[in-house]
Structure 1
Amino acid sequence: MMRQYELVERVQKYKPDADVALLNKAYVYAMQKHGRQKRASGDPYISHPLEVAAILTDLHLDESTIAVALLHDTIEDTSATRAEIDAFFGEEIGNLVEGLTKIKRLDLVSRKAQQAENLRKLLLSVADDVRVLLVKLADRLHNMRTLYYMRPDKRRRISEETMDIYAPLAGRMGMQDMREELEDLAFQYINSEAYQTIRGKLNDLSDQNHVLVKHIEDELHALLLENGMDDAKVKGRQKKPYSIFNKMQSKSLSFEQLSDVYGFRILVGDVAECYRALGIVHTRWRTVPDRFKDYISNPKQNGYQSLHTTIVGPSRQRIELQIRTRDMHEIAEYGIAAHALYKEGRTHAGDVVSDESSVFSWFRKTIEALAEGDNPEEFLEHTKLELFQDQVFCFTPKGKLIALPKDATPIDFAYAVHTNVGDTCVGAKVNGRTMPLVTRLNNGDEVEIIRSGIQVPPPAWEEIVVTGKARAAIRRATRAAIRKQYSGLGYRILDRAFKRAGKEFSREVLETVLYRLGQKDVEDVIAAVGRNELSSNDVLRAVYPDHKDERVTVKPNTEEGWVSLPSGEGMAFRLPEHDGKIDDMRHFMPLRGLSEGAVVRFAPAGAVPGDRIVGIAEEDDSITIYPIQSPILQHFDDEPNRWIDVRWDIDSTNEKRFRVRVGTSVLNEPGALAKISEKIATLDVNIRAIKMEVVADDFAQVVMDLEVWDLRQLNQTIHQLKLLDCVATVARLFE
């Protein structure tokens, strides 16, 4: 266990004028508060905050942050209070310790909503002071280093949480070394077999190739010396097991097929030397196409800068190279922790972004956008989408740089520009060419969004986009469109119900009873009625508690297929009973794939030309035809010998209609069924059977067996029925 004086010495090495009294006071306070507490390993608990503080000294953080590391568990696990921390150490340190206390436990697996809400607290705390995250990451790193002493189930849960949240956050903050260690520590508990296998192969490879790595280092260094770059430094390194595993999975490669297990870095003095070194290397060795990235002219949003290239180098080995200045290297290794803001008295060269507003403002803006999510689970999902992916950099026609996650589409680009641009997007030009909205964007693409004032984003876009902002905006727009649709229907239902009761209806009368109805606003009430989540009678009674409905309501009587409805509320028809198989087609067989004379029947819900269909052989040697979407087919999954490949054989001279079943939810009002029947008749569709059942005060369920020519006519019928003001929903039924 690290000693108090050792910690102080570590801080003084990089900050000779450090406030030693503050560090000693924090250590003594933490030691007294944790007392005889033990960790799962049996070590004194104080060893944990000491090791967390030691990790932060490796990042050369100021003494206030080191003191917070020593104190970070005191409020959570001891009798210490925020007021006491403020009194001893000041409000700034008190704020940081309390911020860490609020987000102490993140449970990814068992309490997802609570975990998501705690993640929101973490990121919002980070937006105020990034040191909260730095201490939290160091805390998690030490916990992962000592995870062996926990129960196996807790090891896996904590490792999954680390892999999903903390490692990507470290990467997004530019702390690449910490990210790699967190990933490797988590990987060995999440997939220990794969970890041990890759670790063994890397050890074997290291024994074989250490001479080759040294040879490549020496040859690169000699080349740079020949060209007058005397202070250039070259260093080779073996990639980590999780990085190797990730590449094997994403590229579907075996370990033996990997050609870039080793990477090399060239460190030089300034930006001009970075490009000079690149030219020297490219002049000597052939480059691998499409493997060059310039993160100096286009830095990553976390401040990372380097030139990346891949060459076929000495011994014809494929070599990945990173070329950067020493200041860039410090930023690349320590990320935001290397920032001058947290190292008093230190500055960086002008070629490295050193203004906190430039390096960190993107993180603040992203968090603010994510915090607008409608619920914690969406926040968690959007955060992962927004923060935890590799990036591509695209441009607007005016040259504005837009950073997006890998595999982003023009839709993501549109929403990154502005939510309104995304909502009204109807097309896109990529590099001057009109391209589909599902196109995956690449680095350097110029994207122009084509807009329409009447566009509403389709719900299907949610499956296309990859950014949290786009997905959240599409969901909001979809909910708003659905709400608008149901609001109109709900308003008419309520207006009719109030008039029937002799009352005047308006939105204003609902405002005073929102708490009774459990809704946030008036529009939510109206939309809930339209969706049949709230009955008009419940709303009426909420507004007028003394009102009594004098209508007689009769419970549905489904005996022999009949439905009895309340007087004056509608009509009922018998829906013929089936034996499970209808429409014997012995004499008319518009199908291919069947033997001559086969007895063919269609399933009860029918099938129409245009459907993908399948035949199922029955015990009596007949064949039943089902649409491929029919849920009944799952019962035959274990009997592949009964499946028959059949196809439609219909031409333009066909004069036979085909049965299909459709279900609708309609307003329970006089004339509704007549409107539906009239619309169906105008579409040249025949109603063969119909059944209507009142399922709520305001709605009735209508099931119809229709006869149509083909799938196109069926889809047109469903679309036209949806447009009727008395219809809430329409869907084809498959059973």
Structure 2
Amino acid sequence: MLRQYELVDRVLSYDPTADEALLNRAYVFSMAAHGSQKRANGDPYFSHPIEVAGILTDLRLDDETIATAILHDTVEDTVATPEQIEKSFGPSVARLVDGVTKLSKIEAQSDNERAAENLRKFLLAMSDDIRVLLVKLADRLHNMRTLKFIPAEAKRRRIARETMDIYAPLAERIGMYEFMTEMQTLAFAELEPEAFDSITKRLEQLKRGGGDQVARIASGIRLLLSQKGIKAEVEGREKHPYSIWRKMTERHISFEQLSDVMAFRVIVDENEQCYRALGLLHERWPMVPGRFKDYISTPKRNGYRSLHTAVMHHERVRIEIQVRTQKMHAEAEFGVAAHWAYKAGGTIQPDVNSRWIRDLVEILDHAASPEELLEHTRMAMYQDRIFAFTPQGELIQLPKGATPVDFAYAVHTDLGDQTVGAKINGRVVPLRTEIKNGDQVQILRSKAQEPQAAWMGFAATGKARAKIRRFVRQKEQAEMIALGRRFYDAIVARMPAPLSSDALAEALKRLKLPDADRLMENIARGTIDDEHVMEALMPGSTGGLSAAVRRAPRSAISMKGLTPGVAFTLSACCTPVPGDRIVGVRRHDAAVEVHVIECPVLQAAPEEDWVDLAWGDSSEGGTGRLCVIVRNEPGSLGIMAGILGAQGANIVNINLSERDASFHTFQVVVEVHDVAHLMRILAALRAADAIVSAERLEPRAPLAA
């Protein structure tokens, strides 16, 4: 453990203006606060915050950050209070300590809830000052280094999984690759011990069998560049076990099939020398196609810059080479922390990180559950990025598999919400099209558009999925409230006497609901039945009413203004369309199912769950299912399709259900406006000589496979 004077000397060695008294006070305060507390390995607990502070001195961070590291566990694990911290060390340190204070361990929380709340706090805190995250990453790194001393395997695995899923990606997103690599390696050893041991042994065997192969190749690269007048530092190493394991699992190959287990860094003085060195390397050894990446002209979202390539070396091995300057190397090793050397005071908040941090904070606002928060943030933090351009030439970074919907939300939330189409490299494409590296993407928008639930099927970024989910939830809630008000009006109409002016307010108190909207939503979802509502509005009112009067609305409930698939669903068994006589079935905590009155499914539903429905003056149409028999003659299918097109009926699905020498039977699903439109389509089909018959399919008639 670092002694007090050693820690202070470290800070003063790179920052002579540091507040020595602040560091000394923090050291003494923390030691006294933690007292006789012990860690799992038997060491004094005080050793942990000092080691965390030592890690941060390697990053050359300021005195406030080092003091925060020393104090970061005092509020959570000792009797020290935030007020004491602020009084002794000032508001800035107190704010930082609060940002990294560990949450109380609530045993009732699930792992996901604990991880999500932890992440939520860090993201909010680091959006104000990135130093919060730097301290927390150092804290987690030291905890991972001592993870083996925790006796409970389940706890070790939980910490390792949380590290792999949250902290290592966070380190990557701010460019701290050394932190990321060590955390991944330590977590991998805990989560996959057999794979870790196997790969580690293979690497040792490879090292023994190849002698000083890494050193020989590094020396050869250094000599080649030196002969051409480029002074360069060349470092070589075998890849880390987790990196190798991930490639093996992604490519479904064995260790022996891996051809690139060695990586080299070439560090030069100037940007121009990076490209000169790259040219010499490609001239000397064949380049592996598709492996060159220029992160100097197009840096990663976290600000990382370097040239990446892979070549076939004459020792019959494929090697990866990164070429960068000294400054790029410092930023690659320490990420956002490296910027401290280039800023005089203030907080570290480089522009290169601001967008992804804002994206993550937006996700916090939109996540409805811990599971959803973790899903979206993991998407936003993980690597494997592609680059695409707006028509104006702005560079947008996205994960692999991203679509125009992701692109639109990455540019601006409003653009994502209003997306109706997209052009990639000048060609109109479906919104589910995957964007490729270097594509130019133009988003087509309309103010009348709104996010669609179907986009969740192909949106790849956490930001896009969070926005879509939030809109869908809000729309569902709004429509449920609107439908619930219509049910409520029908309930009031069945009351034995007019309600008083304060009846609704009193009913909310009896039902323990905060407002009328929550009541309406519960009515629509069927979580409160009509009789309970009547009793809450007028106690004793249901006693003198028959069951039929209590349960049956006096008039049909209009679905005007409601969207199919949100507050109500059009049943697939009978596919009702506007104009059909319809009945709704109310399911507990679900949307109302709409059936045609003849649907046999209604016979299985209790009659008290039925509700009389009406389409209303305007509706969005539906789908009609047809059975069409055509003659087995060339052009018959084209005639059927032509008639449907002429009648304005878009074909949704078509299946050949029966076939013989004379006739073909098709089951066709078409979009229609209403029953009258469907009847016109059937009449037009029946009038054609090539068509033997055309009928609407009866309810529950299955579509052919």
Task: Provide the residue aligned with 2:425 in structure 1.
Answer: 431
Q: 2:381 aligns with which of 387, 395, 402?
A: 387
Task: Provide the residue aligned with 2:21 in structure 1.
Answer: 21
Rounded to whole Å, the distance in 2 between the matches of 1:732 and 1:54 is 71
Is 1:106–1:119's contact at 8 Å kept on the other side of the alignment? no
Give the letter aligned to residue 442 of structure 2.
E
Rounded to whole Å, the distance in 1 between the matches of 2:593 and 2:253 is 61
Is 1:108–1:115's contact at 8 Å kept on the other side of the alignment? no
Task: Provide the residue aligned with 2:215 in structure 1.
Answer: 214
Give the letter aligned to residue 397 of structure 1.
P
Task: Provide the residue aligned with 1:418 in structure 2.
Answer: 412
Q: What is the CA distance between 1:293 and its match in structure 2? A: 1.4
Q: What is the CA distance between 1:280 and its match in structure 2? A: 2.2
Instruction: Give 5+ residue unaligned stretches, structure 2.
Output: 556-571, 574-581, 614-624, 628-654, 658-665, 678-698
Task: Provide the residue aligned with 1:263 in structure 2.
Answer: 263
Task: Provide the residue aligned with 2:606 in structure 1.
Answer: 693
Give the letter aligned to residue 430 of structure 2.
P
Task: Provide the residue aligned with 2:205 in structure 1.
Answer: 204
Distance 1:708 1:273, change over 3 A: closer
Distance 1:387 1:692, change over 3 A: closer
Q: 2:362 aligns with which of 335, 359, 369?
A: 369
SS of 1:321's partner is strand
SS of 2:423's partner is strand
Task: Provide the residue aligned with 2:144 in structure 1.
Answer: 144
Distance 1:142 1:252, change over 3 A: same
Give aligned pairs, total: 604
Q: What is the CA distance between 1:166 and its match in structure 2? A: 1.0
Give the letter aligned to residue 486 of structure 2.
R
SS of 2:212's partner is helix
Per-residue CA distance 1:132-163 (angstroms, 9 max, x = gap):
11111111111111111112221111111111
Rounded to whole Å, the distance in 2 between the matches of 1:345 and 1:391 is 32
**1:237 counterpart = 2:237:** yes
Question: What does 1:437-516 align with in structure 2 at a 5 Å threshold?
Answer: 437-452=431-446, 455-483=449-477, 485-501=479-495
Give the letter aligned to residue 665 of structure 1.
V
Give the letter aligned to residue 327 of structure 2.
D
Is 1:265–1:323's contact at 8 Å kept on the other side of the alignment? yes
Per-residue CA distance 1:505-537 (angstroms, 9 max, x = gap):
999996886666566665554343233233445
Distance 1:528 1:384, change over 3 A: same
Rounded to whole Å, the distance in 1 between the matches of 2:119 and 2:521 is 32
Q: What is the CA distance between 1:540 and its match in structure 2? A: 5.0
Rounded to whole Å, the distance in 2 between the matches of 1:697 and 1:691 is 11
SS of 1:264's partner is strand
Q: What is the CA distance between 1:6 and its match in structure 2? A: 2.3
Distance 1:690 1:538, change over 3 A: closer
Is 1:382–1:468's contact at 8 Å kept on the other side of the alignment? yes
Is 1:423–1:477's contact at 8 Å kept on the other side of the alignment? no
Distance 1:720 1:311, change over 3 A: farther
Task: Provide the residue aligned with 1:189 in structure 2.
Answer: 190
Rounded to whole Å, the distance in 1 between the matches of 2:538 and 2:340 is 66
Distance 1:154 1:687, change over 3 A: closer
Is 1:69–1:135's contact at 8 Å kept on the other side of the alignment? yes
Is 2:432–2:458's contact at 8 Å kept on the other side of the alignment? yes
Rounded to whole Å, the distance in 1 between the matches of 2:483 and 2:275 is 65
Distance 1:216 1:392, change over 3 A: same
Rounded to whole Å, the distance in 1 between the matches of 2:672 and 2:274 is 64
Is 1:232–1:268's contact at 8 Å kept on the other side of the alignment? yes
Rounded to whole Å, the distance in 2 between the matches of 1:107 and 1:390 is 36
Rounded to whole Å, the distance in 2 between the matches of 1:374 and 1:58 is 36
Task: Provide the residue aligned with 1:636 in structure 2.
Answer: none
Give the letter aligned to residue 366 of structure 1.
D
Is 2:530–2:551's contact at 8 Å kept on the other side of the alignment? no
Is 1:108–1:161's contact at 8 Å kept on the other side of the alignment? no
SS of 2:298's partner is coil
SS of 1:286's partner is coil
Rounded to whole Å, the distance in 1 between the matches of 2:209 and 2:84 is 58
Task: Provide the residue aligned with 1:153 in structure 2.
Answer: 154
SS of 2:87's partner is helix
Rounded to whole Å, the distance in 2 between the matches of 1:696 and 1:142 is 60
Q: What is the CA distance between 1:241 and its match in structure 2? A: 0.4
Task: Provide the residue aligned with 1:576 in structure 2.
Answer: none
Larger mean Cα displacement after TM superposition, 686-695 or 236-245? 686-695
Distance 1:357 1:40, change over 3 A: closer
Distance 1:496 1:183, change over 3 A: same
Larger mean Cα displacement after TM superposition, 448-457 or 291-300? 448-457
Task: Provide the residue aligned with 2:351 in structure 1.
Answer: 358
Distance 1:147 1:528, change over 3 A: same
Instruction: Give 5+ residue unaligned stretches, structure 1.
Output: 347-353, 556-564, 571-606, 609-661, 681-685, 701-706, 724-730
Question: What does 1:389-408 align with in structure 2 at a 5 Å threshold?
Answer: 389-408=383-402
Task: Provide the residue aligned with 1:45 in structure 2.
Answer: 45
TM-score (norm 2): 0.76
Give the letter aligned to residue 33 of structure 1.
A
Rounded to whole Å, the distance in 1 between the matches of 2:189 and 2:312 is 33
TM-score (norm 1): 0.73
SS of 1:272's partner is helix
Q: What is the CA distance between 1:330 and its match in structure 2? A: 0.4
Is 2:377–2:462's contact at 8 Å kept on the other side of the alignment? yes
Rounded to whole Å, the distance in 2 between the matches of 1:239 and 1:673 is 57
Q: What is the CA distance between 1:181 and its match in structure 2? A: 0.4
Distance 1:551 1:720, change over 3 A: farther
**1:530 counterpart = 2:443:** no
Is 2:169–2:382's contact at 8 Å kept on the other side of the alignment? yes
Is 2:586–2:610's contact at 8 Å kept on the other side of the alignment? no
Is 2:141–2:183's contact at 8 Å kept on the other side of the alignment? yes
Rounded to whole Å, the distance in 2 between the matches of 1:58 and 1:531 is 58
SS of 1:89's partner is helix
Distance 1:566 1:91, change over 3 A: closer
Q: What is the CA distance between 1:4 and its match in structure 2? A: 2.2
Distance 1:240 1:91, change over 3 A: same
Question: What does 1:110-189 align with in structure 2 at a 5 Å threshold?
Answer: 110-151=110-151, 152-189=153-190
